[in-house]
Amino acid sequence: VHRSLRALHPAPAHLGCQPLTGVGAPRWSDHDMPKEFNFASDVMDYWAQMEKEGKRGPGPALWWISTQGEEVKWNFRDMRDLSCRVANILTGPCSLQQGDHLALILPRVPEWWLVALGCIRTGIVFIPGTTQLTSKDILYRLQVSNAKAIVTTDSLAPEVDAVASECPALKSKLLVSDHSLHGWLDLQSLIKSASPEQTCIKSKTEDPMTIFFTSGTTGLPKMVKHNHGLALRSYLPTCRKLMQLKTSDVLWCLSDPGWILATVGALFEPWTAGSTLFIHHLPQFDPKVIIKVLFEYPITHCIAAPTVFRMILQQKVANLRFPTLKFCFTGGESLLIQEFEQWKKQTGILLHEIYGQSESGITCGVFQEMKIKPGSLGKAISPFDVQIIDDKGNVLPPNTEGNIGIRIKPTKPVGLFMYYENNPQKTAAVECGDFYNCGDKATMDAEGYIWFLGRSDDLINASGYRIGPAEVESALAEHPAVAESAVVSSPDPTRGEVVKAFVVLNPPFQSHDQDQLIKELQQHVKTVTAPYKYPRKVEFVPELPKTVTGKIKRAELRKKEFGQM
Ligand code: BCO
């Protein structure tokens, strides 16, 4: 795949971009939102121009490697050329227009970045999704989003084809593969013949840019819609202070491209700074590979979920003194103080916590030059005014437990989601007085440091994944052995928390081999929905605790798991 793309080696692009004042010295303050912003023209083309003028170092913009030793190195001019070609494919053969929706379900391959940038150039709203999605998940996403196009690989193409007839809006299917497939447009061939001349749209900062699907406690995942402000946020002065990336830095963000952490950490953050984004294909997660790569490549910054750092530490490798690594950022789930200390002791590097959600991107964090209070999420990142609020939206005094809230009145800050697409009820439900209620419990100390306490609802956060219990319960309900189930979070020494299912069996299955049945149920969930949601723990119970009205008391089960009862 990538050998053939590398062979393209685009000729130096004709840069029709306007002169810019520079990303190093941002044009906008934290509170001064420009009317128009487009990451492709305002950031990517700026760095392409800097390269052309010899004002940026020699490091590539994208440095991609695979387990098989393939390598792609593209500078910003290559990125501009290739993403303009993709933009032309989207508006040409795919007939897409500004505002149309495109599902982007690719593993960590260079085309993910080309398609995302192609969408930004044209105003097409890209909808990232993990490659762990099953055909049922894909059907749901295509139907509710009315996506007119999908980009994926040949391993997921049959899953898409199995449901495509039920998705009337879907008009174009783009394949990233070495071979062609009937009914699919071959992205790589099209890139070769497409024109690199393209006029980037002048997007309003408030125009939609991307949609992330996110799980909730009830029902199916919601669509979190963001405008171009999400990209602008990485540009703002306070945000730049978080990682303080320079053009000579090499950042590796391990998050799957299906999550907002990758869109922010592996697209907007590194390229706003003109840094090199390093990506390993990593089809199968293996902490040994991570260690090897950190020794072999000049990576200076690393972003990953705490489970990744935990798994590296658990390898018990004698030497974890990586030669070039300077800063590590971690978020998506809780990091224990012992893990922070152990990482520091073994690597000599501090783990900077970040906190955010699909709705809010990186919301708070431990800035590079800030005093670290181990166990704290750090401080709010301007322009977000983060406060701890009660259920009515009143700001609580320091060290008082409440919900994490982001002020949205009188002005909604740039970078916060627009709304849940087609779901005004859910959008209204997370508004709490003058705040957006993140639904996470925390306290804030007198110095503004935030201390995470957990969810205020039944949502599960397992190894950095946000998992709705109802999604797992409905997958389990499709198995004939299951009479009913309750799914909660349970502590785990490696993954922080894992999904646990309490299952009441239908009578004919009660005499079955229990270990065998557990494996069968786990495998069943992995096939019905994205496998990361499968219950790693299963307990068979005669009945579930319920309220008088028959509602399952998940909180009671959860408390038992965490030894609080
Ligand atoms: O552990 P098992 O082997 O039993 O099962 C694993 C996989 O083997 C399996 N699987 C994956 N693809 C499959 C499949 N099974 C069948 N068919 C397939 N196509 O399913 C299980 C998946 O679990 P996993 O993804 O947790 O697996 P793994 O490989 O252990 O990965 C570990 C981590 C740490 C790399 C992974 O859990 C991870 O990436 N976690 C971080 C997630 C993340 O980036 N979160 C950030 C969200 S955005 C955010 O929080 C906002 C912050 C600003």
Q: Look at residue 391 in the predicted model and tell me its pLDDT.
A: 96
Instruction: Flag whether pLDDT at 21 surpasses 50.
Output: no
Q: What is the pLDDT confidence band of residue 31, given thresholds at 50, 70 and 90?
A: confident
Name the strand (E) or helix (H) holding 76: helix 76-91
CA neighbours within 13 Å on the CB side: how many for 226? 27
The verdict on the CB of residue 235 being under 6 Å from ligand 1 is no
The CA 132 to ligand 1 mean position distance, Å, reads 8
CA distance 489 to 554: 9
Q: Whose CA is nearest to atom 50 of ligand 1?
A: 332
Residue pointed to by tokens 């990186």: 362
pLDDT in tens, 209-263: 999 999 988 889 999 999 999 999 999 999 999 999 999 999 999 999 999 999 9
Mean pLDDT of the 126-133 span: 98
pTM: 0.94
CA neighbours within 13 Å on the CB side: how many for 341? 5
Q: What is the DSSP letter of 53?
A: T
Lowest mean pLDDT among 5-14, 290-299, 356-365, 525-534: 5-14
Instruction: Flag whether pLDDT at 499 surpasses 80.
Output: yes
How buried is 175 (Cβ within 10 angstroms: 0-12 exposed, 13-18 middle, 19+ buried)? buried
- In testing the pocket of ligand 1, which one of 108, 285, 366 has its CB within 8 Å of the most ligand atoms? 285
The verdict on the CB of residue 377 being under 6 Å from ligand 1 is no
The CA 185 to ligand 1 mean position distance, Å, reads 29
The verdict on the CB of residue 34 being under 6 Å from ligand 1 is no
The verdict on the CB of residue 266 being under 6 Å from ligand 1 is no
Q: What is the DSSP letter of 416?
A: S
Q: Decide if 535 contacts 467 (C-beta within 8 A).
A: no
Query: Interface pTM (ipTM) of the complex?
Result: 0.96
Residue 452 sits at φ, ψ, to 5 deg, of: -75, 140
Mean pLDDT of the 59-84 span: 97
Q: Which two tokens stand for residue 269?
A: 């953050």
The verdict on the CB of residue 242 being under 6 Å from ligand 1 is no
Mean pLDDT of the 98-115 span: 98
CA distance 394 to 389: 5
Q: What is the pLDDT confidence band of residue 405, given thresholds at 50, 70 and 90?
A: very high
Q: Look at residue 23 in the predicted model and tell me its pLDDT.
A: 54
The verdict on the CB of residue 465 being under 6 Å from ligand 1 is yes
Mean pLDDT of the 266-276 span: 97
Return all residues near 111 (Cβ < 8 A) that are at least 6 apart: 1, 5, 151, 176, 187, 188
Q: What is the pLDDT confidence band of residue 24, given thresholds at 50, 70 and 90?
A: low
- In testing the pocket of ligand 1, which one of 532, 534, 536, 538 has its CB within 8 Å of the most ligand atoms? 532
Residue pointed to by tokens 């969408």: 119
The CA 529 to ligand 1 mean position distance, Å, reads 13
The verdict on the CB of residue 285 being under 6 Å from ligand 1 is yes
The CA 487 to ligand 1 mean position distance, Å, reads 18
The verdict on the CB of residue 496 being under 6 Å from ligand 1 is no
Q: Which residues pair with 114 in a beta bridge?
A: none
pLDDT in tens, 200-214: 999 999 999 999 999
pLDDT in tens, 154-199: 999 999 999 999 999 999 999 999 999 999 999 999 999 999 999 9
Instruction: Flag whether pLDDT at 111 surpasses 60.
Output: yes
Q: Whose CA is nearest to atom 19 of ligand 1?
A: 132
Q: Decide if 388 contacts 396 (C-beta within 8 A).
A: yes
Q: What is the DSSP letter of 546?
A: B
pLDDT in tens, 336-386: 999 999 999 999 999 999 999 999 999 999 998 899 999 999 999 999 999
